[in-house]
Structure 1
Amino acid sequence: MTTHLTAPTGTRTDVAPIQRRTLRLLFATQIIGGIGVTIGISVGALLAQRIAGAAVAGLTQSAAVVGGALLAVPITRVMSGYGRRPGLVLAYLTGAVGGVLVVAAAAARSVPLLFVGMLLFGGGSAANLQARYAAVDLADPTRRGRQLSLIVWATTIGAVAAPNFAALADATTGRWGLPALAGPFAFSAVAFVLAAVVLFALLRPDPLLTARRLAAAGPPPPADADAPPSSAPTGPAGVPVAPGPATASASGGPAARPRAAGLRSAWRTVRQRPAARLAIVAVAVGHLVMIAVMAMTPVRLGEYHHDADVLRVVGIVLSLHIAGMYAFAPVVGWLTDRIGRRPVILAAAGVLLAACAVAGTAGHHTGPLSVGLVLLGLGWSGTMVAGSTLLSESVPVAERPTVQGLSDLTMGLAGAVAGAASGFVMQVAGYPVLTLLAAVAVTPLVALALRPAATGTPQTK
């Protein structure tokens, strides 16, 4: 299905080339941003340990996670008022400032400055997460899952490549006089600035603003039977209009810039839409279970591997886990479009339960534990891709950014809580109990996904 935007002059603009250009640009900047995030995070705990000791190292890593979650709110407020381009640019530049502050903290051996820098460094993660939503603003309804998953998959390239550049970055900047382990954060800052410049220069027209004009311009061509109904309300004769202040002016001029909505407004929107609630719960639960089990897996491996072997084994197991998270994202996206958002979410919940069962009963056997971690990554991928796709099409276009920001905030805080609680559970009760509690956390998602859908379309049923 080809979608056209009808301008006030009566001319028609084919949206397909704009979407292709947007996807190519987001794919490239996702790789750059992924390198920026991972090259810093890969040495973050070691740098924090040198500055403040082992007890603080884990907290600084959590600071980056919490920072990314909290920054999603102001970033999506900017997107709501001005479009995806300035929001993504702001996020990457915030991450770059954070990288510079971490370098300064390493030079001054300042713990408070390190925490502030890591909080702001989370802007890079926030930008990478928000990019997946920009990929579906103009997507054909029957291809939303695949196009969103393509941007998720692009993260794999940066995540796999970046750790291999950490030593080179540290050696290079060491010759410039920077402290040890600060160099990767300097390179992160450069990568974030590069991604911001590319998006600022080339992400035109803005996909979100174009989608709003499309919603306000008039009736689109007939949709396929499998496409979900338009999320925009209809005016006289069933003509779709953008809700609220995003509606085009009566004189036929450009759409008015919508007022930036807050979290309270986003929560009201989600409460009114069962599909949006399911989407947010799916993304948050998938992230919570993944972080809780993954964070303590290296500790579990350390219980029965010698010090000489444990780092090698941990590297292999976590690499398999990351492959499960990202490598199969295009397949998950295809299934999301093919069989529907809700069935994929339900299947992903089942995979998460299987992952907890396999990992929790693996005992001191690395093979089954590795299988459990692959399944854990695959379940996360299903909830992320299908949940994010369902969320984007479940709310009016004018309200998408703030609702998406609420989702990323919820996801980030759920992951931070899971990471903090998993260490306590591991120490008190052990790894099998941790996986059991993670499985219990999946049950509300299963119950919500099994509720009758509000719409009978294949995508959401």
Structure 2
Amino acid sequence: MTTQLEVITPELQQQIHRRTLTVVVISQSFGGAGLAAGISVGALIAQDMLGSEALSGLPSALFTLGAALTAFLLGRVTQVAGRRKALGFGFTAGGIGAIGVVLATTLGSIPLLFFALFVYGAGTATNLQTRYAGTDLAAPDRKGTAISMAMVSTTIGAVAGPNLIEPMGRLATSLGVPALAGPFLLAAVAYLLAGIVLLIMLRPDPFLLSQQILAQNSGSTEKSAASGTEANNKRIVLVGAMTLVISQIVMVGIMTMTPIHMRAHDQSLGAVGLVIGLHVGSMWLPSLVTGRLVDWVGPRITATAGGLILLASGLIAAFSPADNLTGMVVALMLLGLGWNLGLVSGTTLVVHGTKPETRAKTQGSIDVWYQIFGAGSGILSGVIMSAAGYGVLAIVGGILALVIIPALALTRTNSNTASFQN
């Protein structure tokens, strides 16, 4: 525990940074399980309760809109009170939302379902924003690695969650709850545990401590670099935000409709769980490598690779036979990988392009747009699929991913990570 008057040496900073990453890893392991519930069965619940394929993208849109509001609030609260309180209460809200979804499906209440999904989105935003906690005390040339450490731990719960669809469905049925609500029982427990871990263990608060270090070293390289290249920093942040948003639009659009597409062609819930589980694992597990890749070759090259992989995913999903489980697995795994590359590289650009004293607010604001565009993608995906089919949806998503590549030309910096050390 440090005090406001204590001098933070580089050695002590790295010691606290390592402890912070440990806490983040533990919380994200739980958070990943909560995140997977809405992805796996949200669209199926909506289809059953609303009786419409065109409206089956609503759950994704609702919890993404809830995530957008939460992202805004998290950024503001973090700037004032630190990451511990912001993230802890964000996960708690997500857990309460998951409980609401279970009640809504049990009671057959559509208004309650919509409201609960909106609140459940708080967990999605918190899970995403926790990645920034790993960067607060990281060295400039280790920002990508720090982001990846926070993200990869999500894999544990995120992969387990979808593959527990059938066991959790049986548990739900034994409790008198509809089978599809089972994953939300898991989400409630997982999100609440993640919040408790952060509230109790994330001490000292990494964001508040980074502000103390900034004040202690008021003439530091980080501050002077950030203020000395204002115009270029804004471009870096813009490109980072575009990379995040486009990757999210493509991923959400294709992913949301995949369970509906599979069920329409008589694939089992177990098959859906397998595909989504491998997809979610591909979203997070590659962080073992992608963070270091960003630090090594630079975020621009990594983002370009992400755009190309998202294109490949869309084409494979579009042209694979509907009853070909292998094709769906490959397409959705590539979809997860492309999203991961976009998220890690985009986040790294945002971290390097923002001033430390306003970083949390900017991060929260960017994640708002990230979630809003994701919500729009969730809604439009159902409409497009209903009107033109899953193949057209997948192709459109893949082509859209290519926008990332020319957007990267807006930055004047070299691809070397050292260029972003501010």
TM-score tier by shorter-chain length is 0.7 to 0.9
Matches within 5 A, 1:308-387: 309=267, 311=269, 313-362=271-320, 366=324, 367-368=326-327, 370-387=329-346
Task: Name the aligned partner's letter for residue 332 of structure 2.
Answer: L
Say whether residues 1:389 and 2:387 are aligned partners: no
Whole-angstrom CA distance in 2 between matches of 1:75 and 1:104: 27
The answer to whether the Cα contact below 8 Å between 1:107 and 1:179 also exists between their aligned partners in 2 is yes
Task: Name the aligned partner's letter for residue 32 of structure 2.
Answer: G
Distance 1:53 1:352, change over 3 A: closer
The answer to whether the Cα contact below 8 Å between 1:6 and 1:217 also exists between their aligned partners in 2 is no
Task: Name the aligned partner's letter for residue 373 of structure 1.
Answer: L
User: What is the aligned partner in structure 2 of residue 95 from structure 1?
Assistant: 94
Of structures 1 and 2, the one with the larger relative CO (CA 8 A, separation 6+) is 2
User: What is the aligned partner in structure 2 of residue 425 from structure 1?
Assistant: 384
Distance 1:209 1:295, change over 3 A: same
Matches within 5 A, 1:50-449: 53-54=51-52, 58-165=57-164, 182=181, 184-218=183-217, 230=222, 232-233=223-224, 273-301=234-262, 305=265, 307=266, 309=267, 311=269, 313-362=271-320, 366=324, 367-368=326-327, 370-449=329-408
- C-alpha displacement of 1:164: 4.6
The answer to whether the Cα contact below 8 Å between 2:294 and 2:417 also exists between their aligned partners in 1 is no
Whole-angstrom CA distance in 2 between matches of 1:168 and 1:298: 18
Distance 1:62 1:327, change over 3 A: same
Distance 1:360 1:26, change over 3 A: same
User: What is the aligned partner in structure 1 of residue 17 from structure 2?
Assistant: 19
Whole-angstrom CA distance in 2 between matches of 1:233 and 1:353: 39
Whole-angstrom CA distance in 1 between matches of 2:290 and 2:391: 28
Whole-angstrom CA distance in 1 between matches of 2:381 and 2:178: 32
The answer to whether the Cα contact below 8 Å between 1:271 and 1:277 also exists between their aligned partners in 2 is no
Distance 1:193 1:426, change over 3 A: closer
Deviation string 1:93-142 (CA, Å, 9 cap, x unpaired) is 21122233334434543322221111111111111111101111111122
Deviation string 1:382-427 (CA, Å, 9 cap, x unpaired) is 0001111221121011211121112221221222212222232233
Deviation string 1:246-304 (CA, Å, 9 cap, x unpaired) is xxxxxxxxxxxxxxxxxxxxxxx99961000010000110111112223334455567x
TM-score by length of 2: 0.85
Whole-angstrom CA distance in 2 between matches of 1:104 and 1:295: 23
Identity %: 34
User: Structure 1: which 5+ residue stretches go unaligned?
Assistant: 222-228, 235-239, 244-268
Whole-angstrom CA distance in 1 between matches of 2:97 and 2:274: 30
- C-alpha displacement of 1:233: 3.7
Question: Aligned match of 2:27 in 26, 29, 46?
Answer: 29
Whole-angstrom CA distance in 2 between matches of 1:352 and 1:344: 13
The answer to whether the Cα contact below 8 Å between 1:290 and 1:377 also exists between their aligned partners in 2 is yes
TM-score by length of 1: 0.79
What's the Cα RMSD here?
Answer: 3.3
Whole-angstrom CA distance in 2 between matches of 1:355 and 1:459: 31
Query: Who wins on radius of gyration, i.e. which is larger?
Result: 1
Give the match's secondary structure for 1:273.
Answer: helix
- C-alpha displacement of 1:440: 3.4
Distance 1:185 1:320, change over 3 A: closer
Moved more, 74-83 or 310-319: 310-319
- C-alpha displacement of 1:190: 3.2
Distance 1:425 1:118, change over 3 A: closer
Moved more, 274-283 or 67-76: 67-76
Task: Name the aligned partner's letter for residue 352 of structure 1.
Answer: L
- C-alpha displacement of 1:442: 2.5
Distance 1:72 1:34, change over 3 A: same
Deviation string 1:175-199 (CA, Å, 9 cap, x unpaired) is 6666765565344333323222221
The answer to whether the Cα contact below 8 Å between 1:287 and 1:380 also exists between their aligned partners in 2 is yes
Deviation string 1:153-194 (CA, Å, 9 cap, x unpaired) is 111110122245555556656666667655653443333232
Moved more, 171-180 or 158-167: 171-180
